[in-house]
Amino acid sequence: MVEPHPEADPSISVSDLSLGYPAHGGAKAFQAVEGITFEVARGGVLAILGESGSGKTTLTKFLAGRGDDGMAKGSRVQVAGGEASVLDVPMRRLTRRAATRLTAYAGHLAQDAGATLPPDLNVGDILFQPIAERTKRFDREQLGQVVAEMMDLVGLPLSKLQEFPFELSKGQRQLVAVIRSLMLDPTVYFADEPTLGVDANNRPRIVDLLTWYREKSGATMVLVSHDIGVLEALVQDVLVLQQGRQVGTGDINEIFRDADHGYVLQLAQALRATAYDEVAEE
């Protein structure tokens, strides 16, 4: 059994990776990502940018060890070529047992996380659920202090811990989902549109939370976001995808300043205007 190595550097290594979905239920097989190559150094922060349907969600879900999470066969990510490793764990032919071990270290915020909170649990139980599913022995009081700090950072009163998802606004549900995704103290963290559904006034609170977590843990992060506040505060490097292909990679300032690909230039201009705020699921 290959064990995750939290000290691995680079934390993420991807070489000529192609990903797709199998034919299922009358739908044809579909290739979502083709020939992607990049690395993320330990403690680094990478943003994956691109239009809707460019493969961002597929790539992050796969690297987070959640490529087989879909209930339907047609929603499971398959490797069509290339290699990838996360914390020295080879992602190709990842077994369920290896995925379980990896996901103890690799946090993942799905794009629709705020909309899919367990409806029958209150916020407090939702936040403790990731830990309770892995161990029955944990210091609830100590974790409660961490939860209280995170709730304060995003501006949620502690009284919300007793409420259920239906009692929260859409933005509040997203804030809860972001906190929940950090509960296992991940070494590598993947977040797909963390500010999605949150009003402009509260988006900086998510930036504050992610900044706090990174400073506290030194975690490696991969963020799918077109929120200019997220990018400016956290991101060092970017990977730009278009129709599943890599069309730009490098330092966030250099790649947009010296953009030599039409789509990268278009994206850079839109980001500067703070107008590019993707809301569509891939």
How far is the C-alpha of 194 from the C-alpha of 191, rounded, in Å?
A: 6
How far is the C-alpha of 109 from the C-alpha of 192, rounded, in Å?
A: 6
42-75+91-272, which class in CATH?
A: alpha beta
The answer to whether residue 279 scores a pLDDT higher than 60 is no
In sign, the C-alpha dihedral spanning 23, 29, 33, 36 is positive
How far is the C-alpha of 86 from the C-alpha of 65, rounded, in Å?
A: 9
The pLDDT, as a whole number, for residue 276 is 41
Q: Which of 74-78, 92-96, 200-204 has the lowest mean pLDDT?
A: 74-78
pTM of the model: 0.90
The pLDDT, as a whole number, for residue 104 is 94
The pLDDT, as a whole number, for residue 278 is 41
How far is the C-alpha of 264 from the C-alpha of 187, rounded, in Å?
A: 30
The pLDDT, as a whole number, for residue 277 is 44
Domain boundaries, the chain: 42-75+91-272
For 127-144, what is the mean pLDDT?
85
The pLDDT, as a whole number, for residue 272 is 60
The pLDDT, as a whole number, for residue 227 is 86
**Mean pLDDT value across the chain:** 89
The answer to whether residue 128 scores a pLDDT higher than 60 is yes
Which comes out higher in pLDDT, residue 259 or 21? 21
Whole-number percent of the chain with pLDDT over 90:
68
Tell me the per-residue pLDDT of 190-235, one tens digit each, with 9 for 90 and over: 999 999 999 999 999 999 999 999 999 999 999 999 888 898 899 9
Number of H helices, E strands in the chain: 9, 10
How far is the C-alpha of 249 from the C-alpha of 241, rounded, in Å?
A: 9
The answer to whether residue 176 scores a pLDDT higher than 80 is yes
CB-based contact 9:42 (threshold 8 Å): yes
For 90-101, what is the mean pLDDT?
92
How far CA 162 is from CA of 56, 115, 121, 156, 180, in Å, comes to: 35, 18, 9, 12, 15
Q: In what order do the strands lie in the sheet with 12-21?
A: 30-40, 12-21, 78-86, 89-90
Q: How confident is the model at residue 262 (pLDDT cuts 50, 70, 90)?
A: low
Whole-number percent of the chain with pLDDT over 70:
88
Q: How confident is the model at residue 136 (pLDDT cuts 50, 70, 90)?
A: confident
For 52-65, what is the mean pLDDT?
94
How far CA 2 is from CA of 5, 85, 187, in Å, comes to: 9, 11, 17
Which of 92-106, 121-135, 165-179 tops mean pLDDT? 165-179
Backbone angles phi, psi at 152, to 5 degrees: -65, -40
Tell me how many degrees the CA angle 4-179-109 measures, rounded to the nearest 5.
55
